[in-house]
Structure 1
Amino acid sequence: MCDDGKGKSKSQRWRNKRLFESREIAAHESDNESSSDDEFQIPHGILLHRQQRRDESSEDPNSDSNSTAGASPDSSRGEGSADSNQQEGSEGDAGSGNPEAGSPEQHSSPRNSLDDEHLQQHEAQENNSNASNNSGRDEGLHDGGNSSGSSIPDEQHEQANNFNSDDEHVSDRSAISDNSGSEQNDVSDSEESDHEESSADEDPPQPEEIPLYPGAPITLGQSLLSILTFSIVHQLSGACIADLLGLVTLHCPPGNSCVQSLHNFRKHFSGMEPFVMKRHYFCSSCVYPLDEENGICDVCHKGNNSSYFIELPIKNQLAKLLAREGFYEKLQYRFNRRKINNDNIEDIYDGALYQEHFLEGGFLSSPDNVSFLGYTDGVRVFSTSSTEVWPIYFQIDELPYKDRVQKQNVILAGLWVSTKPPKPNVFLKPFQTALNDFQENGYQLPVHGQGERLFKGMLLAWTCDLPAKAKFMRMIAHNGFYGCSRCETPGESFDLGRSTVHVYPFSPHVIHRQHDDFRVYADQAKQLRRIDPDVNVKGVKGHSLLHSMVPDSVRSVACDIMHGCFLGISKLLVTLWFDSAHSDQPFSLNHVVDLVDSRLTKISPPSHVQRMPKGIKTQLAYWKALEYKMFLVYYSVLVLKDLMDPQYYEHHCMLVSGLFLLSQDSVSNDDKRRASELLRTYVERFQDLYGLRWLSLNVHLLLHLHECVEDLGPLWVFSCFPWEDLNGKLIKLVHGTRYAGLQIAKAASCVMNLPIYVKKLPDGAVKSYCDNLLYSKRKVKVAEIISEIEEAVGTYKHFHTVPYRLRLLLQTSLGLVQGKVSLFQRLKRKGVMYYCTSYGRSTKKNSSFLLYEDEQFSGFCAVDFFLKWTSCNDNCVQGCRQCNAQFLFVGTRYEREIWAVHDMDDIRLPYCSKVRPTEDSVVLPISCIAGLCHFVQIDNEEFILTDINRLEVE
């Protein structure tokens, strides 16, 4: 790269060549406007343009990044590629044949991610390059009306060298662009679309006012928005959208205004305010940060070999959220929530960590300050490729739980898409910078209906599985010494003959880690790694930026129960019990696996349980995390009753009881104490019952679960279930094999913005259609809307003469005399469907058993029918709509019985009750319904189980 006249002339010739080629392509696209775009076959492809194909066909490795500051968008866009096929190793920081290349030794500098061996090797080259200008690259996706790229004057370009490195040999050039450092060339999608706009024969009409066709009940804009909603919900490819547009046109009379091409469909939504995106480049071979796209790597000396990860700035996404009506009011939930018990832990706000920043005028006591729960994990994009997506999500803690886990309320902060796993400090650096700025300076953001307010935020906690935790905390993996992030238990190697496995024997006394320990151990590891690059100190391999992003390196990082307890311990126990390889062990249940399968497959869970129970003998390979959870927490205590040795059965009930106590809606101090004692005893006895071989880190972490609840709230607050579901949806946004990161980022932007545009629709059929697609899981026929949370579903059955028994029951129970009675079989309450026992269409699931709570008593019943009672008679001229009405349920009462669990000391399973039906009937208002129950029949015994909590999303 040079600054003389010759260099500038070459760069100018290059830009002219790119502009000429882009115009040729635009002209060609105009001739083929109706063709589908197979490269971006995502429903949100409306925001993806063909610019990337033009970039790929014309790369110039010699172009000067500084010369693009005022150039056209075409000359400032590049293509990142990930060509390596290496897989992530078992150790968290494994790279590409170089385990520590890219692992920083100082929190604030991604350039310090090299170990000292590499630093000394490239010292001279680093120092010689200090004078060169560094350029990060932003890809700004601004409003569609902005057609010119934002350029930055040369005098504003600074050397990005202020990373506070403690190694004097390091030249602190930043490969990562931030708000105060290196050059950023913003290129908007709207600028890219200029070339596409030139291919259109004429500008489309204003769709908001023009009917779809003369006399049509909807406008063109409403039609396109409903098609977009349909495409996103059903995850249509670009080719499918193009065919759908043709199908809609076919159904409209001649002279219509239908959009017939995918190009114009995308063009219509080009102003949907997509996310601002920033690209941060790194070497595809060794994952070392690069100063520019296709730059020469300082480690492996390769050029034209760059990939990039994407940053989606928090500020822009938070601004979009605050623009929604009612969103700011939901952020005040922590101030006006109703607690079950004021002394109990019921959400993250009751955890000690949140309280430290909330009480006595703390940071989070301000209504305009927020906190985040972060998450990341790798997801394989294609089954035939090693490419993985590593998203970074931020969940807003101040929202009510049901709202904070919804995908449209989650902040997608970053995307790493590569065949190489991320280097944690390289990946985290932009987010550390952004979060520091957000916490110290804040963002001035407009609130719907209130004007601008100053918001500040902080990263309070982090959750992920064990491999990701080890990687981002820069610790040894779970199969090494000192792998626990909460204590300094070393564990030991267990000899298997040809290999070893690391185990964690129970120790009555453990040394708990402290926040400052990580900094001290990282400093020591840094010095030792100059000699031995594989060394660690008490499990710590080096400095991690994550430690500076959260308030406490120990207490802020949660122990996830989805991976640890369900995919970890529950899966282990099922394998030990039923695998034929362990059939000679005293704990084996392989000889009764058929009976267990028979009991499991006869269970009919209620409608809100997503998965039916599967057998073990032939279907265990298809079990997911939810099956393992349902088996461990709900069904195992019942289906293993009378089949398991008493000492093993009691030992297992300790685990189930401990998890229940820490997963309730409201966790008391006594619950925490009991759970701690039960889980401690469980781990202590585990070695004697199952052997030292199986004492994995997951079993050891049971000792720390009560600490997590004390710091962060009940176990469901930081469970990874919502995140894993979101990851599954994320990879479905990828339909083409190229630019997977861009596809995901832009599609996610569309998903986030869509509810806002639907909300702006006028009331009517189109808005109802879009709302049903976005928010309704299943369409049902509503007989009558009872309240905001209750609906009578199906049809009413009217009685001309009320049966004597029913009339007597209404009179004796509620004092209702005469009046009109109508029956119905289904009730929808708080989004949950309840069925009466006579409803014949529900065969696989049983949603007729419920828990009811009155002012004086509570109990279980099987619903015989629901009814509407009105004070009028059959000749009512009001149609009963204006008459005094009550909605009731009538059911058969079940009473509790004593069973085996009650004979075990300190084991509490109040959600699991042995019952028997009575001759009594119960009739109560539907407002007394507390929730659906699981009805399980084991041989001749009947059991009812209630949900351990009413909030958890699975």
Structure 2
Amino acid sequence: MNELPIQLRAKHVMLCGLWFGQNKPNMNTYMKPFVDESIELYSDGLIWQRESGEVVTSKVVVTTMVADSVARPLIQNFKQFNGEFGCSFCMQKGTSVLKRRGRVRAYPYEKTDLRNPSQTDDLVEEAIAGNPTKGVKGPSILSCLPDFNIIDGCVPDYMHSVLLGVARSITTLWFNSENHQSPWYIGRSTEQIDDILTSIKPPCNVSRVPRSVKEKKFWKAHEWSMWLFYYSIPTLKEVLPEKYLKHWFKLVKGVSLLLGENISTLHLSESEGLLTEFVQEMETLYGINNVTFNVHLCLHLPNTVRNWGPLWAQSAFVFESYNGILLDMIKSSQGVSLQIMKTVWLQVAFPSFSQKNMVAASDDYLALLESFSVEKKMVREVSRSHGVTSLGRPKICMIRNDDFLALNSISNLENRVTVKYFSRVVVNAEIVHSQNYSRTFRRNSYTVILSDREESIFSVKTFIVCDLGQGETCYAVGKYYQKVKQDICSQFKNPCYFIPVRKSIGPLVAVQASQIKEKCLFIKTVNRNVDIVFKFINHSEMLR
């Protein structure tokens, strides 16, 4: 299992192989160098030295293989998902059905046996004898890896199967004009949906602001993630017919339970039930030809989490991001593979090269090396107090009347004093804005969750740094949101990260800025009496 903290994994992706060509490689040949080295690292181990001088031998065990549903069967030497017995996790045969001018393989819900390594070995023996059966075409070199499970170890990737698969395909069905006579068609409400969607202001650590559904074919996986888990329910609530919204809600809640940072057996059981119902109802609501392999894969997600932990721990997001880095290494159309390899080797060699040449290096040389290896600071720390760093140049002036009353709610101020006003602070490693910060009008980074017992929702109007008798301290001035009990989708309990709120009416109040726990996503609903605040499902993979 990858023992690196999640925030470091993306910075330590290893390029073990590169294929450049018009056709896919023979996977048993392509993977052989990796498998041979993995076996050596398993048996002999890797010898390294701690800072204390202690020499350690670490053994390497390959536990999981992450790939999309096209590459996975190639590596396992199984049939593709559009062939009979195309699921590499169970024995469902699938059904060939008509769709438009051709045929596709559908996977209507049915209870089937799961595959296991022992059974797969028997099927491999039959395939070697010339009788490929039950989707197994032959042996896979991954079977040579010590302690590797060729079935459970090849995990379904939710980025491809759920976000770029199920979420995208169902959303496309809703807006495709070919379905204008279908009960789920909502293409006539595109403008209404866009008005709500494009008015959403995510916090600044969400990489992209919402784009129109007319541009959905250009949405990235992260945008589909935001659509599925955050934007879709409040956007579709007054548009999509209720039975289809409830069906979609089961997907939203079922998958979100598998993305948490603390997943209990109850969460797994609830997710399993929701996703099973989602797949069962898919044929009735959308027709058998839309019960795709990606829909079927939803049934196998809970077991993957049961075996290997949350979905974000084995998703392809890190590797897809690295593909972007590889593309940046290509500067011309000639010798593409050589360009990539030269750049990769330079990156690998640079740290050891610089270390050898820093012994008697000049100041100019050291400055040059530092410019290559150290990230430049975009902001300068202005002041720091009680774990809060205030950013930017302060506005020093006499405290305003409403802010004076707000500070009086936590301390008895006899007279108005001179204070420092700030628009941005860093707290708990996150940049939080105030409403007065005008440079990001498409963002809302001022709605936050506090670290009190109730996890109160607070909207920051401004930040004030002053001394109220405990030394110079940063205070957040604003208003609380009042939590209300209201299920967004009738007959279903809200997921734990949905928080319906109503804005409190009253004077400004002040809290210590160090009480800010995290930013959250605020969305105004069509019903303006109750809005929704979303906590982020996890902090490990969500903010890419």
Moved more, 553-562 or 896-905: 896-905
How far, CA to CA, are the matches of 1:615 and 1:837 in structure 2?
A: 25
1:144-543 equivalences in 2 (<5 Å): 371=1, 397-406=2-11, 409-450=12-53, 452-496=55-99, 498-507=101-110, 509-528=111-130, 536-543=132-139
Cα offset, 1:446, TM superposition? 3.6
Counterpart residue number, 2:150: 553
Change over 3 Å in CA distance of 1:750–1:921 after alignment to 2: farther
Distance in 1 between residues matched to 2:7 and 2:137, nearest whole Å: 38
Name which of 821, 837, 848 aligns with 2:446: 848
Contact 2:474 2:512 in 1 (8 A): yes
Residues 606 and 846 in structure 1, CA contact (< 8 A), matched pair in contact too: yes
Distance 1:721 1:546 in 2: 22
| Aligned pairs, number | 535
Cα 1:639–1:514 change in 2 (3 A) is: same
Match of 2:381 among 772, 779, 782: 782
Q: Contact (CA 8 Å) 2:90, 2:114: kept in 1 or not?
A: yes
Partner of 2:250: 654
Match of residue 169, structure 2, among 560, 572, 579: 572
Are residues 647 and 627 of structure 1, via their aligned partners in 2, closer, same or farther at CA, if it must alter by over 3 Å?
Answer: same
How far apart, in 2, do the equivalents of 1:437 and 1:945 lie?
47
Aligned to 2:503: 917
In structure 2, do the counterparts of structure 1 residues 602 and 811 end up closer, same or farther at CA, with 3 Å as the change threshold? Answer: closer
Question: Among 448, 469, 477, which residue is 1:890 paired with?
Answer: 477
Partners of 1:627 and 1:865 lie apart in 2 by 30
Residue pair 2:326, 2:340 contacting (<8 A) in 1 also? yes
CA shift in 2, pair 1:516/1:685, >3 Å: same
Contact 2:90 2:112 in 1 (8 A): yes
Matched, 1:908 2:510: no
Give, as a single letter, the amino acid of the residue that structure 1 aligns with 2:264. S
Give the unaligned 5+ runs of structure 1: 1-370, 372-396, 530-535, 873-882
Any idea what SS the aligned residue of 2:89 has?
coil
TM-score by length of 1: 0.53
Asked if the contact 2:238/2:526 (under 8 Å) is kept, the reply is: no
Deviation at 1:643, TM superposition (A): 0.9
The 2-side partners of 1:441 and 1:815 are apart by 69
What does the per-residue CA deviation read over 1:19-44, in whole Å, with 9 as the maximum and x for residues that have no partner? xxxxxxxxxxxxxxxxxxxxxxxxxx
- For residue 605 of structure 1, what is the aligned residue in structure 2? 202
2: CA distance, partners of 1:674 / 1:421: 40
**Which of 422, 430, 433 pairs up with 1:824?**
422
| Offset of residue 593 of structure 1 | 1.4
Return the alpha-carbon distance in structure 1 between the equivalents of residues 443 and 279 of structure 2: 36
Q: Deviations over 1:469-517 (max 9, x none)?
A: 011011111111111111111111113475211000101x220111222
5+ residue gaps, structure 2, are: none
Distance 1:756 1:895, change over 3 A: farther
Equivalent in the alignment of 2:534: 945
What secondary structure, in the 3-state scheme, does the structure 2 residue paired with 1:418 have?
Answer: coil
Pick the structure with greater CA Rg: 1
Q: Structure 2-normalised TM-score?
A: 0.91
SS of aligned partner of 1:930: strand
1:411 offset after TM fit, Å?
A: 1.9
Aligned-partner SS, 2:340:
helix
In structure 2, how many angstroms separate the alpha carbons of the residues matched to 1:783 and 1:772? 23
Q: 1:791 aligns with which of 374, 389, 400?
A: 389
Q: What secondary structure, in the 3-state scheme, does the structure 2 residue paired with 1:644 have?
A: coil
Contact 1:758 1:767 in 2 (8 A): no
Deviation at 1:947, TM superposition (A): 0.9
Match of 1:525, SS state, is helix
Evaluate the alpha carbon distance shift between residue 950 and residue 909 of structure 1 in structure 2; reply closer, same or farther with a 3 A threshold: same
Q: Is the 8 A contact 1:901 1:909 kept in 2?
A: no
Match of residue 835 from structure 1: 433
Structure-2 separation of matches of 1:416 and 1:943: 46
How far apart, CA to CA, are the structure 2 residues paired with 1:505 and 1:929?
Answer: 47
> CA 1:802/1:499 → structure 2, altered by over 3 Å: closer, same or farther?
closer
Q: Partners in 2 of 1:943 and 1:842 — Cα distance?
A: 21
Tell me the equivalent position of 1:339: none
Query: Per the alignment, do residues 763 and 411 of structure 1 end up closer, same or farther by CA in structure 2, a change over 3 Å counting?
Result: farther
Counterpart CA distance in 2 for 1:757 and 1:803 is 57
Note the aligned Cα RMSD (angstroms): 2.7
Specify the SS of the correspondent of 1:519.
helix
Distance 1:439 1:599, change over 3 A: same
Amino acid aligned to 1:547: S
Query: Partner residue of 2:522?
Result: 935
Q: 2:240 aligns with which of 629, 640, 644?
A: 644
Question: For the Cα contact (< 8 Å) 2:406–2:507, is it kept in 1?
Answer: no
1:820 touches 1:870 (CA, 8 Å); kept in 2? no
CA drift of 1:735 comes to 1.9
Which deviations, in whole Å up to 9, do the C-alpha atoms of 1:288-331 show, x marking residues without a partner? xxxxxxxxxxxxxxxxxxxxxxxxxxxxxxxxxxxxxxxxxxxx
Q: Distance in 2 between matches of 1:523 and 1:659?
A: 37
Residue 520 of structure 1, CA deviation: 1.3
Q: In the alignment, residue 582 of structure 1 is paired with which amino acid?
A: N
The code of the aligned residue for 1:404 comes to R
Q: 1:675 aligns with which of 271, 283, 306?
A: 271
Secondary structure (helix, strand or coil) at the match of 1:460 reads coil
SS in 2 for 1:834: strand
Amino acid at match of 2:494: R
Question: Bigger CA drift: 829-838 or 630-639?
Answer: 829-838
Distance 1:777 1:476 in 2: 49
Q: Describe the SS at the equivalent of 2:213.
A: coil
Q: Secondary structure at the match of 2:481?
A: strand
Secondary structure of the structure 2 residue equivalent to 1:414: coil
* Preserved contact between residue 893 and residue 920 of structure 1 (Cα < 8 Å): no
Shift of 1:946: 1.7
